[in-house]
Amino acid sequence: MKLLEPVLAVLAGAYTAQAGAPLGTTVYDDAMTPMAALDEGNGNDAPASASVGTGGLVQVPDFGPNPSNTSMYIYVPAQLAAQPAIIVAIHYCTGTAQAYYAHTPYAQLADEKGFIVIYPSSPYEGTCWDVSSQAALTHNGGGDSNSIANMVTHTLAKYHGDPARVFVTGTSSGAMMTNVMAAAYPEMFAACIVYSGVPAGCFYDQAGGANAWNSSCADGQIDSTPAVWAGIVDAMRPTFSAGSSAAASAAAAAARPRMQIYHGSADAILHPPNYRETIKQWCGVFGFDANAPDETQDNMPQTSYTTSTWGGGKLIGVYAEGVGHTVPVRGDDDMVFFGL
């Protein structure tokens, strides 16, 4: 883990510089005792959202099988919708459930729209996610991905959630996990948003390590075909696309979650080729031509961002020119993509 520390420091610095830390945010420890405010004293940061949600972040100690000892936190708004939608929001390395709750707009949006937010918290020192072990890269394989899926199952049952409106998003390591969740649990999610991650399986560790750092992937040295990337996705949930006929595989692709991929051209942590590789991965899965989007729009959704769309919006790529690690979360746009 020693080698990882400089990387973590950079990740933390990059994230804080962009998202800022809301002052006066109450953070709770495991016993729900308020702790010191996040990054208190860092007074020149603008908050990511005007205020976080009013319902409070609560730990759920018992959500069923938890093979990797991942912590579960939940935000349930005071005005909960009937059959609420659920968003799983996954933090970056050095982050926590509490930090992602405070730095992203999802809890505030939950107050407006009545959905539930699940914030998993990594069990590892340095708080990256395990997106490298075989366990993590396998449906019900016993890694962090398995624990996160069990949080969703628990929440759907407890709050009578809408199984057709379950979503996942994350930043950096959480974005890597978002791709893994989409690959390993395609039946669970309707749509997924990836802020500055790598393709599902790209962080695979040959030595079998959990929570390992894969430099060739991070540094943008992996260049695979859409078919190879799609094979990696299929291997995580083999029965999902097992149909032998073209019609069966088209039906399986249609049933998979919609994907939106953000990446910055100046990303020096998860280098920019990871954008192209992630697009190739989902194009391979969906059967789209990565070189021929339906539409490419410059300066969309803002100046110097370019948006490419495949399959009528099944896959959207947003390449942010000049943006480093990470692309800032776009809460209102996320609501549009999720249909909330």
Instruction: Mark the segment that binds ligand NAG (CB under 6 A) among 44-52, 145-153, 211-219, 314-322.
Output: 211-219
Q: Which of 104, 147, 214, 281 binds ligand NAG (CB under 6 A)?
A: 214
Task: Tell me, residue by residue from 89 to 128, as one string, x for binding to ligand NAG by CB under 6 A and - for no binding.
Answer: ----------------------------------x-----
Give the pair of three-digit tokens for residue 219. 């540094």
Give whichever of 216 and 297 is closer to ligand NAG, judged by the CB atom: 216
Q: Which of 205, 234, 267, 334 binds ligand NAG (CB under 6 A)?
A: 205
Give whichever of 123 and 142 is closer to ligand NAG, judged by the CB atom: 123
CA distance 100 to 300: 26
Instruction: Mark the segment that binds ligand NAG (CB under 6 A) among 14-22, 89-97, 176-184, 210-218.
Output: 210-218
Q: Least distance (Å) from ligand NAG to the CB of residue 176?
A: 11
3-state helix, strand, coil in the chain (%, to 5): 35, 15, 50
| DSSP states of 261-309 | EEEETT-SSS-THHHHHHHHHHHHHHT--TT--SEEETT-SSTTEEEEE
Q: Which residues pair with 87 in a beta bridge?
A: 117, 167
**Count of CA atoms in the C-beta half-sphere (13 A) of 231:** 5
State the catalytic residue, choosing from 121, 133, 172, 241.
172
Task: Tell me, residue by residue from 35 to 64, as one string, x for binding to ligand NAG by CB under 6 A and - for no binding.
Answer: ------------------------------
Crossing angle of the two packed helices 173-184 and 226-236, in degrees rounded to 10: 70
Nearest to 93 by CA among 333, 325, 328, 264: 325
Number of residues that bind ligand NAG (CB under 6 A): 11
Give whichever of 73 and 115 is closer to ligand NAG, judged by the CB atom: 73
Q: Is 222 in the site for ligand NAG (CB under 6 A)?
A: yes
Q: Which of 42, 54, 79, 216 binds ligand NAG (CB under 6 A)?
A: 216
Q: Which of 217, 269, 270, 327 binds ligand NAG (CB under 6 A)?
A: 217
Give whichever of 66 and 309 is closer to ligand NAG, judged by the CB atom: 66
Helix, strand or coil, per DSSP, at residue 40: coil
Helix, strand or coil, per DSSP, at residue 105: coil
Instruction: Mark the segment that binds ligand NAG (CB under 6 A) among 36-44, 96-104, 212-220, 331-339.
Output: 212-220
Residue located via tokens 């942010």: 320
Nearest to 338 by CA among 166, 183, 186: 166
Q: Which residue is nearest to ligand NAG (CB)?
A: 206
Among positions 175-204, residues that touch ligand NAG (CB under 6 A) are 202, 204
Q: Least distance (Å) from ligand NAG to the CB of residue 121?
A: 7
The yes-or-no answer on residue 304 being catalytic is: no
Give the pair of three-digit tokens for residue 338. 């999720």
H/E element, 70: none
Q: Where are the beta strands (DSSP E) in the chain?
A: 27-28, 34-35, 57-59, 71-75, 86-90, 116-121, 166-171, 191-195, 258-264, 295-297, 305-310, 315-320
CA distance 308 to 248: 27
Query: What are the catalytic residues?
Result: 172
Footprint on this chain of ligand NAG (rule: CB under 6 A): 69, 71, 123, 202, 204-206, 214, 216-217, 222
